[in-house]
């Protein structure tokens, strides 16, 4: 009995194999861009100033035509109905899809079930993930690691580890997005206001290395901080409200091409003319501005 396939069937089979390989290779090398914004924080540099700067940044970002936008927390400086409403209203000006992380000013320095419920009602989920062109983006609530809350922190930890495992099984490079930096200067630095506790920090670094994280994006420090550790990029970018290092207001434009991930700073082209004067007691300024 002849068990050989006809030549025509062999050619069809080889053609299908080549087609599958071509599609897979195209997916792997597809280039896309996304924007990293940090701390729009309405009220930090003056409520009017910060909302205008955010609007101008959105207009500039739309002109760059990125595939998506990520905001690394501190959407507002003081979380109450009007500030969240203003943020949601202005956010609608974005053309690309926007993904938000929560910051300490959004859910409080010491989060409570009430502050989390308020954020989730007004803004949405505080931790979640999504896929984009073979990459997995994981948005986390770093405040639950900075100041743990019973049940909530444990729930995020379980979800985070399972999400990492799932991404690795699918061979997806991972970008983690939060608000707090894991570290500012070096991984073994002492605990302070600007970093995560060292025990959690080292645990996360170990998870990042084991599961294929290629970048961690954060904010909070209001200055440019860029590190590379064990092949992982740590980038805490510039804000559109106020920077503490005299850097111009702006955002980061990331380019993903295959497995290559790079970024560059984009200065806000038309910053508001209003002078930023930092006032530690600016809560009254926010409320006064909103009354106008």
Residue 4 falls inside a structural domain:
no
Q: How many domains does the chain have?
A: 1
What is the predicted pLDDT for the residue at 274? Answer: 62
Residue 257 falls inside a structural domain:
yes
Q: What is the CATH number of the domain that holds 159?
A: 3.60.21.10
The domain in which residue 276 lies consists of 31-291
CA distance 150 to 36: 30
In this structure, are residues 182 and 201 in contact, taking their beta carbons and an 8 Å threshold?
Answer: yes
Tokens (6 digits) for 19: 């087609």
What is the predicted pLDDT for the residue at 285? Answer: 40
pLDDT tens by residue, the chain, 292 residues: 445 556 555 555 555 554 544 454 445 548 999 999 999 999 999 999 999 999 999 999 999 999 999 999 999 999 999 999 999 999 999 999 999 999 999 999 999 999 999 999 999 999 999 999 999 999 999 999 999 999 999 999 999 999 999 999 999 999 999 999 999 999 999 999 999 999 999 999 999 999 999 999 999 999 999 999 999 999 999 999 999 998 999 999 999 998 789 999 999 998 887 645 444 443 344 334 333 3
What is the predicted pLDDT for the residue at 284? Answer: 42
Alpha helices in 191-256 (DSSP H): 198-211
Sheet holding 128-132, edge to edge: 128-132, 135-139, 174-177, 213-218, 232-236, 225-229
260-267 vs 250-257, strand pairing mode: antiparallel
In this structure, are residues 249 and 267 in contact, taking their beta carbons and an 8 Å threshold?
Answer: yes
- Cα–Cα distances in Å, from 8 out to 16, 18, 86? 13, 15, 65
Residue 10 falls inside a structural domain:
no
Residue 20 falls inside a structural domain:
no
Burial readout 158-168 (b: 16 or more C-beta within 10 A, e: otherwise):
eebeebbeebb
Residue 77 falls inside a structural domain:
yes
Rg of the Cα trace of the chain?
Answer: 22
Residue 9 falls inside a structural domain:
no
Pick from 130, 243, 225: which is nearest to 186 by CA? 225
User: 255 phi and psi, to 5 degrees?
Assistant: -125, 125
Residue 24 falls inside a structural domain:
no
- Strand-pairing partners, residue 282, are none
Alpha helices in 30-112 (DSSP H): 47-64, 81-91, 104-107
Residue 14 falls inside a structural domain:
no
Residue 270 three-state SS: coil
Neighbours of 36 (CB within 10 A): 26
Residue 149 three-state SS: coil
Residue 286 three-state SS: helix
């Amino acid at each position: 009995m002849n068990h050989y396939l006809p030549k025509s069937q062999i050619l069809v089979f080889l053609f299908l194999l080549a087609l599958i390989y071509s599609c897979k290779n195209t997916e792997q090398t597809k280039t896309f861009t996304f924007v990293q914004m940090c701390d729009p924080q309405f009220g930090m540099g003056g409520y009017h100033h910060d909302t205008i700067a955010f609007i101008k940044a959105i207009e500039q970002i739309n002109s760059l035509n990125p595939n998506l936008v990520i905001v690394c927390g501190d959407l507002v400086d003081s979380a109450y109905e009007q500030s969240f409403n203003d943020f949601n209203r202005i956010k609608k000006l974005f053309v690309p899809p926007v993904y938000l992380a929560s910051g300490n000013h959004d859910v409080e320095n010491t989060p409570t079930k009430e502050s989390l419920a308020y954020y989730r009602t007004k803004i949405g989920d505080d931790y979640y993930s999504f896929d984009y062109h073979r990459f997995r983006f994981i948005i986390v609530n770093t405040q639950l690691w900075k100041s743990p809350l019973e049940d909530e922190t444990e729930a995020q930890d379980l979800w985070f580890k399972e999400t990492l495992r799932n991404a690795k099984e699918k061979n997806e490079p991972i970008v983690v997005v939060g608000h707090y930096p894991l570290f500012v200067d070096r991984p073994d630095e002492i605990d302070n206001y600007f970093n995560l506790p060292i025990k959690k920090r080292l645990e996360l670094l170990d998870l990042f290395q084991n599961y294929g994280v290629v970048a961690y994006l954060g904010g909070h420090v209001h200055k440019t901080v860029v590190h590379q550790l064990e092949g992982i990029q740590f980038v805490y970018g510039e804000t559109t409200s106020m920077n503490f290092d005299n850097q111009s207001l702006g955002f980061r434009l990331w380019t993903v091409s295959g497995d290559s991930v790079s970024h560059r700073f984009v200065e806000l082209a038309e910053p508001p003319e209003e002078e930023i004067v930092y006032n530690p007691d600016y809560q009254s300024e926010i409320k006064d501005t909103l009354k106008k």
